[in-house]
Structure 1
Amino acid sequence: MTRREGGGAVLLKLLLAGLVGYALLVGLLYTQQRQILFKPDRGTPERPADAPDGFAEITSQTADGLSLSHWYLPPARAGAGVVVVLHGNAGSRDGSYRKFQEIHAWGYGLVLADYRGYAGNPGAPSEAGLIADARSVLDWLAGQGVPAGRAVLYGESLGSGVATALAAEREVAGMVLEAPFTSVADLAQQQYWYVPAKWLVRDPFDSRARIPSVSAPSLILHGDRDPTIPVDHGIALAEAAGGRAELARFPEGDHLNLWRVGADARVRAFLQRVLG
């Protein structure tokens, strides 16, 4: 064997090894994607020590037979409207309470929803599952005399995909999206640019495709310094909404601090407009 032939054989082996390693990486990302996307804290949260009068742990029934626990703070007066909070991929109703209890202080009802597989709830999370979970919360509210037309969906990060899907199929009073994505598939392709991530995603949460079907007024909150979901996603969603969404950008905002840099005031004004 000549030196050139020997060098070619080594190069071929390196190329094959690289292809095998790449295939293993793609396979790992595909099989582990739900562990990457969903980060549930499975422990059951305790009732807050400062829970106001009327605070209740409620149970909703999903269409596929799960009983899910959530927290409910009724409005100060009948008919004031209710905000349904759909938290992000690592959240829980406990974290939602600490962040959003101010909404209840403004006089609105508040449902701090949780998903299957999260916060002591049974089941395993998926796109279809989380949307069914949120749907069951609206069904529970309807059973309490609160129609969807008096409810505002508040989707936080991953919850923005859940909120958009639900608002596209039901007539709600309004929708707030905090740090939303156009789709998980788009976001995955940005983060894993070296693999065909967009085509591997099992739970795409395609909000860009769904938001044109949302008839309710919407408020999109996004930080210009968001390192997790770039502000371009919020801009693209507002454009896809066709003029039915108001985009509020925060120059000092990142993925977690929007309520500390002015988003609370924008949310309060929006709720006053759509719920009164």
Structure 2
Amino acid sequence: MKLLGRLLLVACALYLAGLAVLFVRQRDLMYPRNPVRADIASANLPGAMEVPLTAADGERLVAWLVPPRAGKPVLLFFHGNAGNFGRSIRQARFRALTEDGTGLFAVNYRGYGGSTGSPTEEGIHLDARAAYGEAAERFGAARLVGYGESLGTGVVLQLAAEVPLSAVILEAPYLSTAAVAQGVYPYVPIRLVMLDQFRSEAVIGRVRAPLLVLHGERDGVIPFRQGQALYEMANPPKRFIRFPAGHHEDLPAQGSVPEVRRFLADAASGGVAGAESRTVE
């Protein structure tokens, strides 16, 4: 009996030690960033330029701008949690989204891609507001479409709940980052110890702009069911596109870009109505 008690004490000590390590290192795990400034000249984005920004707390940010053609919208883009703008898969997404003349304004969060500081949920929201302010001043809020990828879906939803956007696009969204983390660490009281929870489920009801949700059914990072559940919580007009063969980062290869263009055209003409759902094979 004494041996069993000692084993339980050791197990508890090890659990608490592991929990302490997770708590201390959680932001390093959540934001696997590359702080190096990516070379915009090698991205093969016609007309692209860097735009310096300053967040409300003084952090200096690096944004990429691809100017729109006449009559085209501007995607205010918020990236996922990994790497920087030098990632080939991210640059390919930027090229695909802008090759028809659609504009792009994408900000490197603090700590990413040459931006100063270290990422936190509060800080990233400040970065989003700085990007919005600059883009709205250049192009007008009526031309801005918020686009969030993975982690960025929670960023753009919070922004869309605060400021006017002509439409919102979510690629691989979550209910909250806490819900995602709970699936990775099922025996950890995530909601008690996680600092940055990006609770999209709590803010999406305040978003009134036309909404497009894109999600792959084989997403191994953010479960498809979370994106679907978030869509169900959203206000109309809204559109949900599922990709049965889609994983977390390969939706452009599955046909997401034509769906984005169709949605942008429909949103501009008032053609998004009610709740629509479609599967793209």
**TM-score scaled to structure 2, two decimals?**
0.91
Indicate whether 1:69 and 2:62 are aligned: yes
Q: Deviations over 1:150-178 (max 9, x none)?
A: 10111100111111111111110111111
Q: Write the distance in 2 (CA, Å) between the matches of 1:155 and 1:261.
A: 18
Equivalent residue number for residue 3 of structure 1: none
Equivalent residue number for residue 243 of structure 2: 250
Residue 275 to residue 106, structure 1, CA distance change in 2 (3 Å): farther
Indicate whether 1:80 and 2:39 are aligned: no
Q: Which amino acid aligns with 2:23?
A: Y
1:260 to 253, 277, 280: 253
Q: Write the distance in 2 (CA, Å) between the matches of 1:31 and 1:244.
A: 42
Equivalent residue number for residue 122 of structure 1: 116
Q: Write the distance in 2 (CA, Å) between the matches of 1:91 and 1:244.
A: 33
1:98 Cα deviation (Å)? 2.5
Indicate whether 1:93 and 2:100 are aligned: no
Q: Which runs of 5+ in 1 are unaligned?
A: 1-7
1:180 Cα deviation (Å)? 0.9
SS for the counterpart of 1:48 is helix
Residue 58 to residue 275, structure 1, CA distance change in 2 (3 Å): farther
Q: Write the distance in 1 (CA, Å) between the matches of 2:191 and 2:9.
A: 25
Check whether the contact 1:164–1:214 (CA below 8 A) recurs between aligned residues. Answer: yes
Q: Deviations over 1:40-77 (max 9, x none)?
A: 11111112336455321101121111221111011111
Equivalent residue number for residue 276 of structure 2: none
Q: Write the distance in 2 (CA, Å) between the matches of 1:87 and 1:183.
A: 16
1:28 to 7, 12, 21: 21
Q: Which amino acid aligns with 1:20?
A: A
Residue 53 to residue 229, structure 1, CA distance change in 2 (3 Å): closer
1:25 Cα deviation (Å)? 1.2
Q: Which runs of 5+ in 2 are unaligned?
A: 270-281
1:239 to 232, 237, 243: 232
Q: Write the distance in 2 (CA, Å) between the matches of 1:275 and 1:106.
A: 16
Could you say what the CA RMSD is over the residues aligned between the two structures, in angstroms? Answer: 1.5
Give the number of the structure whose alpha-carbon radius of gyration is greater. Answer: 1
Indicate whether 1:142 and 2:152 are aligned: no
Equivalent residue number for residue 180 of structure 1: 173
Q: Write the distance in 2 (CA, Å) between the matches of 1:47 and 1:187.
A: 32
Indicate whether 1:46 and 2:39 are aligned: yes
